[in-house]
Every structure is written in C-alpha cells, then in structure tokens.
Structure 1
Amino acid sequence: MIEAVMIWNEPNNKSHWDPEIDPNWDLFAETAIGAGKAIERVNPSLPRVLGGISPIDPAFIANMMGKGVLDHVDAVAVHGFPLDWNLWQIDEWPAKIQEIKAVTDLPVWVSEVGVSSFGAEEVQAWGLDRTAQLLIGQAPRIHWYSLYDLPRAWPATTRHKEAEGSSYYRHFAMGLLREDGSPKMAAERFPRHAPALGICQWFHFEDHRLCEAVAWMRRLGVRSLRTGLSWADSFRPNALDWFDRQMEALSEFDVTITYCFTPEHRGIAPHHTSAPQVPEEFAEFCAAMTERYAPPQIAGTPVAEQTEAAQ
C-alpha cells in the first residue's frame, strides 16, 4: 500500500519550514537525517524521498547533499506551478528537472504540479494536458495537485495569507473537483493521462471527503497517490483511529505518505513550520507510522491486519 515515504514538505518554502529559526537548514538537515535513519531501521526496503522543494532550487539540493541528507534518501522531489505562482513558463518544466539532475544522481520526482481554475476552467484543462505532455516520461512519479478545491472555510497552508493578493486565492481553486464535489473541465480530461499522472490530495483531520475521494480516484484511473500523516495531528484525541481509517480507505492505491508538520508545543516556536525542539521526536513519529502502516514483515496485507499486529 505505501510505496514510499516523503520526509517533510517544501522544506525550502517558509510556509512549511521557518528560515528565521533555521536560516542555513542545519536543523532541518539534522531532522531529516534522523527521520531517514529511523524509517530505514523499520523498513530498509521502503523508498525515502526528500520533501518536494518549492521553489525548484538546485542550490538547496546541493546544500542538502553537503549536509549529508541525500545519503539517507532514495529520491528527491520538486513542486512547480508555473501558471499560478512560479516566475517561469510551463514549457520550462524539462529544463527545471534537468537543473536538479545536474546536482544529484538521485531520481527526481514531481510530487506536486498543478494549475488553478482561478482565471478560467479552460486554462486549467489546457495546463493539465500540457503538463502531461511535458512531464510524462521525465520523472518516476508525477502527482497532480489536487483532487479537490480547498474549502473556503479552511485556511490555505501559507505564511503570507491574504497579503499575497490574488495568489492566495488561487490556493482554493487547484482541484479537479469543486468544493461541492462537482467536476471541472480538467476532471473530464484527467483519465487520458492516468495512471502516468497520479494525484496529491491532502486530507485534513477527519476529512469528510475521504470516501468520496476514493470513489473519484477510481473513476479517474488513479493508481499513485500522495498524501500525508501529520505529526501535529498525532497529538489530537483519537488520532490513531483517524490515521487507521484514512490508510485503510486508501489501501488500494500506491501511496507516498508524507511525514510533516511540527506540533506547536514541540516546536522551537509554536508553529507547524518550526524546527522541533527535539529532532529525535520527529524521527520517533516517522518510525512509529512506518511500523504501523509499512512494516516489511507484513507488507502487502490489509491495513486492519497490520494495525492489529502493531497493537
């Protein structure tokens, strides 16, 4: 069920890792190395992927190499949104991947790529087709972001909020499906590119869309899925019950699971982007989740049986 684990999300983006606390990424490197070692101890055959970077910056990957992080992962990943946020054109995608390949021999995944329907659904549909044309065959995994629009009642995961102007509101229009679950024009085109294109869909704690999302991914021909298990959420009441339900519901897909988000009370600053006070605690979370959902001795068995064995 779990085909890979990703260590953090967009570590070079201050919406996900606070550079004021860790300006040279020394603490991130320590945190990532510890997580990589912990995951390997539990399941040595499980691929580990460095959290997708945004912006696409070869200097950041070179920094991670210099700090030893790349010795503890099996792939790196990039995120790109050239029609919405990035200051480069969509046709530059192959060149952007080559920039990363120039500084590492590790495989380069595209773990988030997307186009919003903020301006027009026709733009998103065209962007989907063009993205598929440019990227299929260029990366081992391509995850389209995302299946659903972000509900307007939920905040986007960004430090800038409404100060971004229209850029902030594009966060709410990235889905193939609208907030109410109805399909956009791009949803009709997506099956042409599946299963080479997968989906990245973040599920919030006790997300009401989970079962409907599974049905839609079947309909769209999705095989590979990227989602997350939040270290911060693990401190909520009944967290393991939710994690179990989520992972059981997603068991038919090839899942890349992302471990990320610092609990407020365990960060150097009280925020999910903070470096942790004790990096070993994040490693312990990664090990526990890997043991629960991807232990090598029972890999391939239903999650319910894995959970019973873990308990």
Structure 2
Amino acid sequence: MIEAVMLWNEPNNRSHWDFEIDPEWRTYAAMVRLAGDAVKSENARLPRVLGGISPIDPRFIGNMRDQGALEHVDVVAVHGFPLDWNHWQIHEWPDKLADIQAVTSKPVWVTEVGVSTFGAEEVQEFGLRRSAELLTGRVDRIHWYSLYDLPRAWPATTRHREAEGSSYYRHFYMGLIKEDGAPKRALRHFGEFTPALGICQWFHFEDHRLASAVGWLRELGVKHLRTGLSWADSFRPGAEAWFDRQMKALEGFEVTLTYCFTPEHRGVSPYHTSPPQQIEEFAEFCATMTRRYAPG
C-alpha cells in the first residue's frame, strides 16, 4: 500500500522548516542524504521523494543537487496554490514544472495543488477543473489538497497568524468538504478526474475524521493518497497504536507517506519546524516507519 515516502514537507517554507537556523539548508540536505539511505536500507525498491517545495523554486532544487541530496532521492515534488498564495497565475503551471525539470532529470510530482473557498465555492470549482486540465498527463502524481476543511478549533501549520489577514484564514477553506461534513460544489466534480488526481489529506493524532475520510475517498474513486506520520507524534502515549490504526484504515490506497515534524525536545529550538539536534534520530524514525509499514 505504500508507494513512496517523502522526506519532510515544504523545506523551503519557513512554516515547515526554520531556515533562519539552517540558512543554506545544509542541515536539511545532510538529513535527506542520511534518511534517504536509511529508507533504502529497509526497502531498496521504495521511491524516496524530496520534501515537496513551496514556493516552486528551481534554485532550491539546484541547491539540493549541488549538496548531493538529490543522489539520495528518486523524485522531486512541488506544491502550488496560484489562486490563493502564489504570485503567479494558474495557467503558468506548465512553465513552473518546466522550471524544475530544467535543473534536474528526476521525475517531478505535484504532491499538493489546491484552491480555497475563502472567497467563493465557484472559485474552487473552476480551480479544480483548470488544475486537472493543466497537470494531467504532465506528471505521474497529482495530489489535490485537500479532502476536508481544517477544523477552526485547530491551528493551521503555518507561520501566518490572524494578523496576516486572509493568508491565514485561507488555510481553513482548502477542503472539498466543510468541517460539518457538508459537500462543497467542487466535490461533485472530483470523481471526473480520478484516478489521475489523488488526494493529500493530513490526519492529526487520533483524528476523528479517519473513517469518514476513507469512505469519501472510496466513493470518489481515489487511488493515490498522500498523508504523513509525525516524528513529533511518535513520542505521544499511544502513538504506535494510532499509527497502526491509521495505516490499517488506509489499506487499499497507494500511499505516499510523509515523514516530518521535529519533536520539540529534539529540536535545535523547541518547535516542530526546527532542524533536529541529531539528524541521525530522524533517519532512524524513517527507517523504523519504513520497516513497519513498507518492508522490503
């Protein structure tokens, strides 16, 4: 069921990796080299994906290439939200892919693409159809972000806060389904684009939405799913049981499994975006999860 593993999420986005601590991404590159080898030692056939980048920046991929990190992964990935956060227009998707393909021969996946309903559901409806038109056939994997709106009681994983205005609030409107379970306009069209379009859906620790999400994914004809296992959550009581329950529920899908989030007590700074004090500990987490859920 595990078709690939991803090493971190959006490492060039300060909401997910503190590059003030690691300004040239030397720690991140070293961590990818070590973790990539750790995964390969457990399953040599399992594709390893560099953490999907946001913004789409060929200079970052060039940096990873020059530091030798790309030699330890099989795929690079990009995330794009041109109708919400990016400073480019939706019709530029082919150009953005070409920019990355110009600096690496690795396959490029789109592991997050989405449109919020912050302004209107019709915007997401248009964005879904146009994104599918522009991306289908150009890359091997496309993961729409996301199935569910983020519950308003949960914080968004971002450096933006209420003072940033709509940049923050848009995080809560990215789903095809509202927090109360009501479908949005775009949901009725999503099945037209599966299985070419997959879904990216993050599940929080002991997430109450897991069972209903599986039901919706099956109904929509989704084959490819991207989600994550949190290194930080692995230190919670009951973490192993939750990981097992989550992965059992997702049997039947081809899963890209993202390993990320630094435990506060293991970071250079006490925050989940911090580079770890010891990159070997992240590599061991990657090896352990691969051994458990995607053994060679």
> TM-score scaled by structure 1?
0.95
Query: Whole-Å Cα distance in 1 between the matches of residues 160 and 116 of structure 2?
Result: 18
Unaligned runs of 5+ in 1: 297-311
Query: Whole-Å Cα distance in 1 between the matches of residues 264 and 159 of structure 2?
Result: 15
Cα contact 2:10–2:17 (8 A) shared by 1: yes
Query: Whole-Å Cα distance in 2 between the matches of residues 216 and 196 of structure 1?
Result: 16
2:210 aligned with 1:213: no
CA apart distance, 1:160: 2.1
**What residue in structure 1 maps to residue 265 of structure 2?**
265
The amino acid of 1:25's aligned partner reads: W
Q: What CA deviation, in whole Å up to 9, does each residue of 1:89-132 have, x standing for no partner?
A: 00000000000000000000000000001110011001000000
- For 1:76-91, what aligned pairs fall within 5 Å after superposition? 76-91=76-91
Cα contact 2:160–2:167 (8 A) shared by 1: no
Query: Whole-Å Cα distance in 1 between the matches of residues 164 and 197 of structure 2?
Result: 29
CA apart distance, 1:161: 1.4
The amino acid of 1:58's aligned partner reads: P
Secondary structure in 1 matching 2:186:
helix
Query: Whole-Å Cα distance in 1 between the matches of residues 105 and 161 of structure 2?
Result: 36
CA RMSD after TM alignment = 0.5
CA apart distance, 1:207: 0.1
Secondary structure in 2 matching 1:79:
strand
CA apart distance, 1:170: 0.4
- For 1:176-191, what aligned pairs fall within 5 Å after superposition? 176-191=176-191
2:161 aligned with 1:161: yes
Query: Whole-Å Cα distance in 2 between the matches of residues 202 and 105 of structure 1?
Result: 29
Shifted more, 158-167 versus 87-96: the winner is 158-167
The amino acid of 1:286's aligned partner reads: C
Query: Whole-Å Cα distance in 2 between the matches of residues 81 and 123 of structure 1?
Result: 12
Unaligned runs of 5+ in 2: none
- For 1:196-275, what aligned pairs fall within 5 Å after superposition? 196-275=196-275
After TM superposition, where is structure 1 displaced by more than 4 Å over at least 4 residues in a row?
A: none
Secondary structure in 1 matching 2:55:
coil
**What residue in structure 2 maps to residue 2 of structure 1?**
2
CA apart distance, 1:32: 1.0
Query: Whole-Å Cα distance in 1 between the matches of residues 260 and 163 of structure 2?
Result: 25
CA apart distance, 1:167: 1.2
**What residue in structure 2 maps to residue 31 of structure 1?**
31
The amino acid of 1:17's aligned partner reads: W
Query: Whole-Å Cα distance in 2 between the matches of residues 33 and 160 of structure 1?
Result: 30
CA apart distance, 1:181: 1.4
